[in-house]
Amino acid sequence: MNPVEPGAHIYSGDPFATPEQDRSAVRRLRGRLASPVSLWTVPGPSGLTVSSVLVADGEPGRVLGLVDEESDFWDALSVAKRFAVTPLGVADQQLADRFAGLMPSPGGLFALGDWIETDFGPVPAGAGTWAGCRLDGERQYGWGLLVEATIESIHLDESPSAPLLHFRGRYRGLDR
């Protein structure tokens, strides 16, 4: 029998990850629920990738989302009181990673790509669908900050792209 040489073993997963049985059951449940990936931006500008988002129909329509209260985005939103929500498509994975802080952004988050300035914050130039929202309130909810807002403006693309989803810790499209 040959001993395994140092460095010869290749892991099929992350060797430093917490074993699944030791992870929070709530977090594991959340990971099994597919979530739409959206980009929230404010004038200034600042932005954050948000996948814990819900749109509630009504008059007026409402948006709820969970954000990190220690983020630069929350600091900017708490002052601006308004923001844009852009649903991201499968082609926007790098944009999502950049605004989630998972990818370097030399020159700042908004240095790459083209942006349209709106009263609610910058919107990616290729985004056909987005909503302008007014902050109504916030409160601690779990380990996040629940942001409650009223939708003041909606711009819809007549032929929307396939959505980018977050499922089990990875981005996916409807076809993957």
Q: What is the pLDDT of residue 68?
A: 96
Query: For the chain, how many residues are written?
Result: 176
Q: What is the pLDDT of residue 7?
A: 55
Q: What percentage of the chain has pLDDT greater than the value 70?
A: 91
Cis peptide bond N-terminal to 36, omega within 30: no
In the chain, what are the domains? Answer: 36-172 (2.30.110.10)
CA 131 to chain centre: 15
Q: What is the pLDDT of residue 19?
A: 80
Sign of CA dihedral 167, 132, 107, 88: positive
Instruction: Please check whether residue 41 is in contact with residue 83, taking contact to mean a CB–CB distance below 8 angstroms.
Output: yes
The whole-chain average pLDDT of the chain stands at 91
Instruction: Please check whether residue 84 is in contact with residue 41, taking contact to mean a CB–CB distance below 8 angstroms.
Output: yes
Nearest Cα to 109, choosing from 77, 142, 73, 85?
73
Those residues of the chain that have pLDDT short of 50 are none
Q: What is the pLDDT of residue 12?
A: 65
Within the chain, strands assigned E span 35-36, 38-42, 46-50, 53-56, 62-67, 82-87, 115-116, 123-124, 130-141, 144-155, 165-167, 170-172
Q: What is the pLDDT of residue 158?
A: 87
Q: What is the pLDDT of residue 8?
A: 52
